[in-house]
């Protein structure tokens, strides 16, 4: 089974600054999808950004961008111009393109945004 | 509210009792997923439905767990003879049948506490 590792249990960033959350994964597959989900306190999880493994171009969604390094099996999330509303748990997730529909999540990184 | 709805939001029960959770997905979504999330962990996949068919089950779904999705609309997750280890947040998500990176929309979850 594919494993997703988030090595930073907690991160802190000041408002308006940039922060990068790390994610690595283990797979023998060549075709797959990667996601970052955000889970605010006591609220539902929402999709932040997604990346298809066959695309070399890194995905970008407004202030959120990823650094996808397929050979290194690394998928980091960069949040620019951090806002107080960015404070949440962030989960990296992997989904196979050929075997099943389950998302495999990492343990998450808790992001604190300070004024 | 047109999001994914889960009920009850919180259930406290005694060990050995049966509990049932309900999930109402977004109306046009034909895919429905159940995940379990314990403290400090990312969500773990339990099972997946496409319309009324249960297409995938995790080995985490022991024989005490059963999920249904009659008529391909709402879904129920029943846990029989609950154990303290069943205490967790049970998350439901739904999506449209689209290739690859179909976004999952999560509900706010049903928290189970087994005393």
pLDDT tens per residue, range A70-113: 999 999 999 999 999 999 999 999 998 887 778 999 999 999 99
Q: State the DSSP code for B51.
A: T
CB contact under 8 A, B106 and A45: yes
The DSSP output letter for B23 is: E
Residue B86 DSSP label: G
Confidence band, pLDDT 50/70/90 cuts, at residue A1? low
Q: Do the beta carbons of residue A65 and residue A58 sit within 8 Å?
A: yes
Rounded Cα gap, residues A7 and A10, in angstroms: 9
pLDDT of residue A101: 79
Q: Name the 3-class secondary structure at B84.
A: helix
Please report the pLDDT score of residue B1 as a whole number.
Answer: 54
- Supply the pLDDT for residue B83: 96
Q: What mean pLDDT value characterizes chain B?
A: 92
- Chain A residues in contact with B35 (beta carbon < 8 A): 103
State the pLDDT at residue A97.
85
Structure confidence at residue A98 (pLDDT): 82
CB of B82 closer than 8 Å to CB of B19: yes
| Residue A35 to residue B3, Cβ atoms within 8 A | no
Answer whether residue B60 shows pLDDT above 90.
no
pLDDT band of residue B99 (cuts 50, 70, 90) is low
- Measured in degrees and rounded to the nearest 5, phi and psi for residue B72 equal 65, 25
> Which residues does residue B66 pair with via DSSP β-bridges, in sequence order?
B78
Is residue B100's pLDDT more than 80? Answer: no
| Min distance A10 CA to chain B CA atoms (Å) | 11
DSSP string, chain A: --EEE---SEEEEETT--EEE--EEE-S-SSEEEEEEEE-TTS--EEEEEEETT--SPPEETTEEEEEETTTTEEEEEE-S--GGG-EEEEEEEEESSS-SPPEE---EEEEEE-
Q: What's the pLDDT score for residue B28?
A: 85
Average pLDDT over residues B52-69: 92
pLDDT of residue A26: 95
Query: Given CB atoms, is B48 within the 8 Å cutoff of chain A?
Result: yes
Q: Which of B10, B30, B42, B106 to mutate to test the interface with A (most CBs of A within 10 A)?
A: B42
Q: In which band, very low, low, confident or very high, does the pLDDT at A68 lie, cut at 50, 70 and 90?
A: very high
Least Cα separation, residue A54 to chain B (angstroms)? 11
CA distance B107 to A18: 29
What are A6-43's pLDDT values in tens digits? Answer: 999 999 999 999 999 999 999 999 999 999 999 998 88
- Count other Cβ atoms within 10 Å, centred on residue B38: 13
């Amino acid at each position: 089974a594919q494993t997703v590792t988030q090595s930073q249990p907690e991160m802190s960033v000041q408002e308006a600054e940039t922060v990068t959350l790390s994610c690595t994964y283990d797979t023998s597959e060549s075709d797959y999808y990667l996601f970052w989900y955000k889970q605010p306190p006591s609220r539902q999880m929402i999709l932040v950004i997604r990346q298809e493994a066959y695309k070399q171009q890194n995905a970008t969604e407004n202030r959120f961008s990823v650094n996808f390094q397929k050979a290194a099996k690394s998928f980091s999330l960069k949040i620019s111009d951090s806002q107080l509303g960015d404070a949440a748990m962030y989960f990296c997730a992997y989904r196979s393109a050929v075997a099943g529909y389950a998302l495999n999540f990492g343990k998450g990184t808790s992001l604190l945004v300070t004024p | 509210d047109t999001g994914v709805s889960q009920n009850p939001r919180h259930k406290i029960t005694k060990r050995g009792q049966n509990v049932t959770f309900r999930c109402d997905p977004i109306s046009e979504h034909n895919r429905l997923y159940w995940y379990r999330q314990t403290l400090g962990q990312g969500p773990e996949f339990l099972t997946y439905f496409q319309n009324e068919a249960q297409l995938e089950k995790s080995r985490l779904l022991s024989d005490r767990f059963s999920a249904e999705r009659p008529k391909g609309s709402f879904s129920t997750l029943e846990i029989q003879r609950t154990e303290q280890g069943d205490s967790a947040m049970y998350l439901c998500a739904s999506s449209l049948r689209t290739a690859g990176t179909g976004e999952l929309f999560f509900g706010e979850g049903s928290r189970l506490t087994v005393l």
